[in-house]
Amino acid sequence: MSSNSFGKLFTVTTFGESHGPAIGCVVDGCPPGLALAAEDFAADLARRATGRSRHTSQRREADEVEILSGVYEGRSTGTPIALLIRNVDARPKDYAELADTFRPGHADYTYWQKYGIRDPRGGGRSSARETTMRVAAAVIAKKWLAERHGVRVRGHLAQLGELVPRAFDPGAVEANPFFWPDAAMVPELEAYMDALRKAGDSVGARVTVVAEGVPPGWGEPVYGKLDAELAAALMGINAVKGVEIGAGFAAVAQRGSTHRDEIAPDGFLSNHAGGILGGISTGQPIVASIALKPTSSILRPGRSVNLRGEPVEVATKGRHDPCVGIRATPIAEAMVALVLMDQALRHRAQCGDVGPVAPRIP
Amino acid sequence: MSSNSFGKLFTVTTFGESHGPAIGCVVDGCPPGLALAAEDFAADLARRATGRSRHTSQRREADEVEILSGVYEGRSTGTPIALLIRNVDARPKDYAELADTFRPGHADYTYWQKYGIRDPRGGGRSSARETTMRVAAAVIAKKWLAERHGVRVRGHLAQLGELVPRAFDPGAVEANPFFWPDAAMVPELEAYMDALRKAGDSVGARVTVVAEGVPPGWGEPVYGKLDAELAAALMGINAVKGVEIGAGFAAVAQRGSTHRDEIAPDGFLSNHAGGILGGISTGQPIVASIALKPTSSILRPGRSVNLRGEPVEVATKGRHDPCVGIRATPIAEAMVALVLMDQALRHRAQCGDVGPVAPRIP
Amino acid sequence: MSSNSFGKLFTVTTFGESHGPAIGCVVDGCPPGLALAAEDFAADLARRATGRSRHTSQRREADEVEILSGVYEGRSTGTPIALLIRNVDARPKDYAELADTFRPGHADYTYWQKYGIRDPRGGGRSSARETTMRVAAAVIAKKWLAERHGVRVRGHLAQLGELVPRAFDPGAVEANPFFWPDAAMVPELEAYMDALRKAGDSVGARVTVVAEGVPPGWGEPVYGKLDAELAAALMGINAVKGVEIGAGFAAVAQRGSTHRDEIAPDGFLSNHAGGILGGISTGQPIVASIALKPTSSILRPGRSVNLRGEPVEVATKGRHDPCVGIRATPIAEAMVALVLMDQALRHRAQCGDVGPVAPRIP
Amino acid sequence: MSSNSFGKLFTVTTFGESHGPAIGCVVDGCPPGLALAAEDFAADLARRATGRSRHTSQRREADEVEILSGVYEGRSTGTPIALLIRNVDARPKDYAELADTFRPGHADYTYWQKYGIRDPRGGGRSSARETTMRVAAAVIAKKWLAERHGVRVRGHLAQLGELVPRAFDPGAVEANPFFWPDAAMVPELEAYMDALRKAGDSVGARVTVVAEGVPPGWGEPVYGKLDAELAAALMGINAVKGVEIGAGFAAVAQRGSTHRDEIAPDGFLSNHAGGILGGISTGQPIVASIALKPTSSILRPGRSVNLRGEPVEVATKGRHDPCVGIRATPIAEAMVALVLMDQALRHRAQCGDVGPVAPRIP
């Protein structure tokens, strides 16, 4: 198998290389009757797009989505929805000299070892370009989740290198190119990024996604737990090295008397669990965080080997993000939305549309 | 669907509740010809078993595995291998009073909201008792991985509450009941646990698993990445709240010039990646860590509600671990082994048994 | 993979060899709240059991089902339901001499070529003994389909060798050991079978299954069509060589003006389609027929080869059915029920519990 | 779920409606290194294409395949191969008047009942247009099967209405527009078809596919049997109402002493099994036959109802085949090839590339 599909009942299959003719996806399992148009994809693709500010890669991606199937007179029909984006700013020649070299920190070596062949143009299939289609597919999921269940999925940057927000203002997140919840710190972030670029280096980041409005009962014991599927979805984003649900690694040093979220008749008294118990949603906000590594494509030269095992020096002169974590915010949202959509359908397959029989904790 | 199966080509389906008549599993997809006997399961099940020391739950689990199928004259035949363990020390009456109550930090409420019915005896299906079968199934995977590829999967406790090892001696890990790699600290750990028990409280832990000998090329882009599948497998263990691969969350504050693992002709110069690039193994050791929350079943009373939404006070008097993280060590190993086994078969499905065509980095 | 699971959302995983310690299954995905007890399985297992009359194999199978999990206080909980039957009348020694030989018409040679090892005791995993668990699992599906949707699945023998029923009386089917719908012909069938046994030979059969009450809308285009999944389910029964839906092979010589089922406001005017159009149920009865080959285990000696490629003569003296098709009736019902159950859950996953928006054809 | 994917390890996902902007597919799991170019698809697509002779639909389909991904410098890379065909001869207006009507024998009514919405243009997703992508995907499978294993898959028309071939000449099949193995009968077939067209009617057909060179050992007990998967694949082709393996329904009246294929040291003495025993290939030719119903789209008016349940008369004036079975020949080949490809990869996942350990029957 080759695992280019995500989701069991709301299944997204993506295809395409960074500098091939096109990227695209097929979304299978969408409920019928959902209003959908090409314009619906513009906002989230723009949020993900590079070239948005001088702090992210300067590749210009038009990212115009064409709906090839599955929509009739503006409504989903229940048949597969295929989306296509032509690669218009592909510059394969930028990468010609790298065809022979394994860039450190990249998938060059591993693809070669796995397949004995690789498309070296811009990382080929391993490029973050592929995540464009995750964001596109998630637009469909977000629409259905919002309309049917009132679910809202929002991400923000929670750390950039050593910098952490000193305030949290949800309204600030979409008003700056860093998805940063503390507007006052934006100049500081810009200076930080400029210094980084000048040094020819890059830095990691932490992104947090919160899903509000998820009803209790989504998630499947014991190998399809909501947190386990979120972990896979988020760890599968390029450059992610860690995933936390709720308290995450802070739980290691916590006491049980602190961590367990006590319950009063009018609601949970805390949310260290991040909205999930036993792999099933509690009705509290779902909270997930990820660690993104600093991009390996930097100006500072690094040691590596070529196809013949000889030592070479690698320095990346192409268009790259000094912090890939920034762009990861809408991608992380997308993956959370795809997981929730899939679990929503799985839940109603087994348990039906009917609501819970026991009183809900508010 | 209900998601009680794990793995796509080496598929483990588990069943059974904590205090039902039995727990068991069906292992489908095992290559034929593997030597296998009931005795093979004893060692790892003993490592996982409660009752091993006074620092873990006092439930006595005999955990005698019966092989019901798939083995003929001591060899796997390629047909499904069913394993069965009778629950001999089930004490359902211990839990009678809890049938009406949602214990804070447990899956009681979420199972109820999902299904409208739950088995309250010892947590039913949500109990860590289920992980016994993961360990059993992984014995088969470990054997095949070791015999066929020389892969060795070993875990240890990397943090207990605030305590971290001051030394790392692989030989120490199996010589103390904490899987602790620093023998000199064991008395300190015992005192720490005794104080915790006296306080009627519990604490979290961090477990690290290392898989050595994994060849380059295992893992599937882009939704079946080795790290993504490890993340799901590990996050799906009871009480896990975070997963890291390699540098994990430390990567957030790292520079690209540090994090990217440079390569010399005689090998990688570091392993911040944790042995995985682009979702595919590099040939370096696979390193994964998990955060386990403190168990919620503690003597100290906590606030909750009952089935009718009325406030109640919950205090657990049954047999429970003050640190579930300790026992999680062999379980985490098991999940890593199951993921590797599955990926090994998936790799040869697409790419065959033949080795890499390019020179390998040593 | 090894494919011992059936169904995507109502998933049945079976295990066990004909003469191993036990056979069993795990049913995953059952909706919660279904009443279920060990007694529920008795009727259909008795219908399937050998030893029912002198016209089927004389092996005595007690077939007492033990429910190991997934049921609490008489109701399904939504967790996996494991069923176990111990093999009490296994006589492995009957088969010792066959371990070296490939019986013609059996799976001996193919298992050996696939796996390089096989369990020769009674055909091991390839024995029809495995179908016991299909029938058991289908008891659960039949209950839910009947209670929730009023679906009723019934099979009958439609041909035995050259004999075809001259009348069709639904009430007769369960009143004779042949599932034959024409009571007057039963003595003729008995004489036919006696002659066959005396000749040391066997004969094929045709079984037809009808599912009534299936609502329109079940089945998934384009690779999960209801008829395609019925075809797989039925062709996967031991000894089946052909599957027909509705008119089946008679459609080859039909005209379109005859075959297409015209529609009047008060209903379809015929059912050549067998209740399925475009892979989706129409609301008419689902009609499927299968061809079963004559059993290859007969007294009359046949030519074959042994493990060393040398010619041998094979004659079966064990307990075997001269017409396996008779026992296939409840098995075919079971497979149809399992397909319908799975499709029912798949339909509500994508389209919800809400009924059709257009007027239904009565 | 929605089931627009076929195959577990060699997975084909198709999308597109008959008169939408495009049809396409994503082929995931192709082994790396296979030579592949757009020209490879021309021959089989032409064989399937309508407009080939006056005896099939007059729709002109250019069917130019664009490879969007997964191929680099003429070789498959192991990443998903996306294929796209623009619909250039779509005439949606031909179908405007049918949007309100359920055509008898078509999927109009069932799609409406399932989804509450449907694309009426040319049958939308239920059109045989979708099978174009099956044929395209199978080109890849056929290449790999031929190069790696010497497998050759060939189909022919085995019956047209009442007509059956009086001779079998493999060389004749590709030399006439009917895939008919008896060249002398071609004028008779042409007259038969002309009479049918004049009568405004249609007729069914029987197609047989033979796969030669399949090694013993492919196919998975017990729910992924080779014959079961062939049955699903073939029954899932539009208009198919029956599937036979080997002797098929003729087995009903056979004796066991005839049907079982005896074995001599130099080979099997017959092939009633159609090359499959116990769901696993024997090494003999795989033989499968299908029954195709007469197309329901005919000039002769038929009774039906409209969306409001009112009686209407339907007569099809668009471009349609009087015998869809003719074009089904390459489609049936394609499905057989896709099943074999998938099983080849599944076999080596579990059992490796190494050949059988026992002597093979020649």
Q: CB distance from B183 to chain A under 8 Å?
A: no
Query: Which secondary-structure segment (H or E) carries C287?
Result: strand C286-292
The mean-pLDDT minimum among A139-153, C47-61, C83-97, D10-24 falls in C47-61
Residue C94 pLDDT level (bands cut at 50, 70, 90): low
CA R_g for chain D:
21
Inside any domain, residue B219: yes
Q: Do C32 and A345 touch (CB under 8 A)?
A: no
pLDDT at site C191: 96
CA distances C298 to B35, C90, C319, D301, Å, are 35, 20, 10, 54
Q: Do B350 and A241 touch (CB under 8 A)?
A: no
pLDDT at site C268: 97
Strand runs (DSSP E) across A202-261, as ranges?
Answer: 205-212, 240-245
The average pLDDT across A67-76 equals 97
CA atoms within 13 A on the CB side of C352: 15
Q: Between chain A and chain D, how many beta carbons pairs sit less than 8 Å apart?
A: 157
pLDDT at site C322: 87
Q: Residue C175 pLDDT more than 60? A: yes
Q: CB distance from C350 to chain A under 8 Å?
A: yes
The mean-pLDDT minimum among A201-205, B321-325, C315-319 falls in C315-319
Q: CB distance from C349 to chain A under 8 Å?
A: yes
Residues of the domain holding B50: 5-351
Nearest CB to B350 within list D221, D345, D351: D345
Q: Do B15 and C26 touch (CB under 8 A)?
A: yes
Report whether A126 belongs to an annotated binding site. yes
Tokens of A158: 């929670």
**DSSP helix/strand/coil, A47:** helix
Strand runs (DSSP E) across chain A, as ranges?
Answer: 5-6, 11-15, 22-28, 66-67, 71-72, 75-76, 81-86, 152-160, 205-212, 240-245, 263-264, 267-268, 276-277, 280-281, 286-292, 302-305, 311-314
C182 within 8 A of C167, measured Cβ to Cβ: yes
**Helix then strand then coil, % of chain A, to nearest 5:** 35, 20, 45
Inside any domain, residue C362: no
Q: According to the 3-state scheme, what is the secondary structure of chain B?
A: CCCCEECCCCEEEEECCCCCCEEEEEEECCCCCCECCHHHHHHHHHHHCCCCCCCCCCCCCCCCCEECCCEECCEECCCCEEEEEECCCCCHHHHHHHCCECCCCCCHHHHHHHHCCCCCHHHHHHCHHHHHHHHHHHHHHHHHHHHHHCCEEEEEEEEECCECCCCCCHHHHHHCCCCCCCHHHHHHHHHHHHHHHHCCCCECEEEEEEEECCCCCCCECCCECHHHHHHHHHHCCCCEEEEEECCHHHHHHCEHHHHCCCEECCEECCCCCCCEECCEECCCCEEEEEEECCCCCCCCCEEEEECCCCEEEECCCCCCCCCHHHHHHHHHHHHHHHHHHHHHHHHHHHHCCCCCCCCCCC
The average pLDDT across D108-114 equals 94
What angle is formed at CA B179 by the lines to CA B177 and CA B180, rounded to 5 degrees?
105
Tokens of C238: 């031991």
Distance from C-alpha of A256 to C-alpha of A272, rounded to nearest angstrom: 11
Whether omega for the bond prior to residue D222 falls within 30 degrees of 0, making it cis, is: yes
Inside any domain, residue A188: yes
B308 versus B24: the higher-pLDDT residue is: B24
D323 within 8 A of D196, measured Cβ to Cβ: yes
Question: What is the dihedral sign for C-alpha C193, C197, C198, C199?
Answer: positive
Strand runs (DSSP E) across chain D, as ranges?
Answer: 5-6, 11-15, 22-28, 66-67, 71-72, 75-76, 81-86, 152-160, 205-212, 240-245, 263-264, 267-268, 276-277, 280-281, 286-292, 302-305, 311-314
Residues of B in contact with A278 (CB under 8 A): 106-107, 110-111, 126, 238
The helix-helix angle for A324-351 and A226-235 (nearest 10°) equals 150
Q: CB distance from D70 to chain A under 8 Å?
A: yes
What angle is formed at CA B214 by the lines to CA B208 and CA B218, rounded to 5 degrees?
105
Report whether B127 belongs to an annotated binding site. yes
pLDDT single digits (tens) B129-153:
999 999 999 999 999 999 999 999 9
The count of domains in chain A is: 1
Q: Residue C51 pLDDT more than 50? A: no
Q: Do C22 and B115 touch (CB under 8 A)?
A: no
What are phi and psi for residue A35, nearest 5 degrees? -65, 130
Q: What type of residue is A311?
A: P
Report whether D293 belongs to an annotated binding site. yes
pLDDT single digits (tens) D257-280:
999 999 999 999 999 999 999 999
pLDDT at site C93: 63
Residues of A in contact with D9 (CB under 8 A): 1
Q: Residue A51 pLDDT more than 60? A: no
Report whether B132 belongs to an annotated binding site. no
CA distances D115 to B156, C263, C348, Å, are 53, 20, 11
What angle is formed at CA A156 by the lines to CA A152 and CA A157, rounded to 5 degrees?
165
pLDDT at site B311: 95
Q: CB distance from C137 to chain D under 8 Å?
A: no
**DSSP helix/strand/coil, D11:** strand
CA of A70 vs chain D CAs: smallest distance (Å): 7
Q: Do A359 and B308 touch (CB under 8 A)?
A: yes
Nearest CB to D29 within list B32, B79, B350: B350
pLDDT at site D321: 76
Q: Each residue of C261-292: b (16+ CB within 10 Å) or e?
A: bbbebeebeebbbbbbbbbbbbbbbbbbbbbb
pLDDT single digits (tens) C206-235:
999 999 999 999 999 999 999 999 999 999
Nearest C-alpha neighbor of D294 from the set D159, D187, D185 = D159
Q: Do A23 and D69 touch (CB under 8 A)?
A: yes
Q: Do D356 and C222 touch (CB under 8 A)?
A: no
Q: Residue D53 pLDDT more than 90? A: no
Report whether C238 belongs to an annotated binding site. yes
The average pLDDT across B226-243 equals 98
Torsion of CA B179, B182, B184, B186, to 10 degrees: -30
The average pLDDT across C163-169 equals 98
pLDDT at site A58: 52
Q: CB distance from D73 to chain C under 8 Å?
A: no
Torsion of CA C282, D13, A152, B113, to 10 degrees: 60
Report whether A270 belongs to an annotated binding site. no
Tokens of A82: 């295929």
Q: CB distance from A356 to chain C under 8 Å?
A: no
**DSSP helix/strand/coil, C32:** coil
What angle is formed at CA C264 by the lines to CA C259 and CA C266, rounded to 5 degrees?
125
CA of D125 vs chain A CAs: smallest distance (Å): 7
Q: Do D17 and A79 touch (CB under 8 A)?
A: yes
Inside any domain, residue A263: yes
Residue C99 pLDDT level (bands cut at 50, 70, 90): confident
pLDDT single digits (tens) C246-298:
999 999 999 999 999 999 999 999 999 999 999 999 999 999 999 999 999 89
Nearby residues of A93 by Cβ (< 8 Å), 6 or more positions away:
none
Number of Cβ atoms within 10 Å of the Cβ of C110: 27
Report whether A75 belongs to an annotated binding site. no
CA of B349 vs chain C CAs: smallest distance (Å): 10
Q: CB distance from C1 to chain B under 8 Å?
A: yes
Mean pLDDT, chain B, as a whole number?
Answer: 93
**DSSP helix/strand/coil, D336:** helix
Distance from C-alpha of A90 to C-alpha of A19, rounded to nearest angstrom: 5
Chain C CA closest to residue B86: C68
Nearest C-alpha neighbor of C134 from the set C319, C344, C328 = C328
pLDDT single digits (tens) B249-286:
999 999 999 999 999 999 999 999 999 999 999 999 99
The CATH number linked to B245 is 3.60.150.10
Q: CB distance from D260 to chain A under 8 Å?
A: no
Distance from C-alpha of B57 to C-alpha of B62, rounded to nearest angstrom: 14
Instruction: Tell me whether 0.90 is exceeded by the ipTM.
Output: yes
Q: Do B17 and C79 touch (CB under 8 A)?
A: yes
Nearest CB to A116 within list D21, D33, D345: D33
Q: CB distance from C347 to chain D under 8 Å?
A: yes
Q: CB distance from B11 to chain C under 8 Å?
A: yes
Q: CB distance from D17 to chain A under 8 Å?
A: yes
Inside any domain, residue D359: no
Number of residues written out for chain B: 362
Interface of D with A in 225-254 (CB under 8 A): none
Q: CB distance from C272 to chain D under 8 Å?
A: yes
Q: Do C346 and A346 touch (CB under 8 A)?
A: no
pTM exceeds 0.90, yes or no: yes
Inside any domain, residue C90: yes
Q: CB distance from D204 to chain C under 8 Å?
A: yes
pLDDT at site A96: 66
Mean pLDDT, chain D, as a whole number?
Answer: 93
pLDDT single digits (tens) D162-176:
999 999 999 999 999
What percentage of chain A has pLDDT greater than the value 70? 92
Nearest CB to D204 within list C251, C296, C360: C251
CA of B328 vs chain D CAs: smallest distance (Å): 30
The mean-pLDDT minimum among A38-47, B28-37, B86-95 falls in B86-95
Inside any domain, residue D340: yes
What percentage of chain A has pLDDT greater than the value 90? 84
Residues of C in contact with A79 (CB under 8 A): 221
The helix-helix angle for D324-351 and D131-149 (nearest 10°) equals 50
The average pLDDT across A259-272 equals 96
Q: Each residue of D123-149: b (16+ CB within 10 Å) or e?
A: bbbbbbbbbbbbbbbbbbbbbbbeeee
Among B79, B220, B350, B351, which would you mutate to test the D interface (most chain D Cβ atoms within 10 Å of its Cβ)? B350
Nearest C-alpha neighbor of B341 from the set B56, B88, B27, B91 = B27
**Dmax of chain A from CA atoms?**
68
Inside any domain, residue B360: no
CA of B271 vs chain A CAs: smallest distance (Å): 10
The average pLDDT across A264-288 equals 97
D51 within 8 A of D63, measured Cβ to Cβ: no
CA of B353 vs chain D CAs: smallest distance (Å): 6
Nearest CB to A346 within list B1, B259, B260: B1
Residues of D in contact with C249 (CB under 8 A): 206, 241-242, 244, 249, 291
Report whether C56 belongs to an annotated binding site. no
Report whether C295 belongs to an annotated binding site. yes
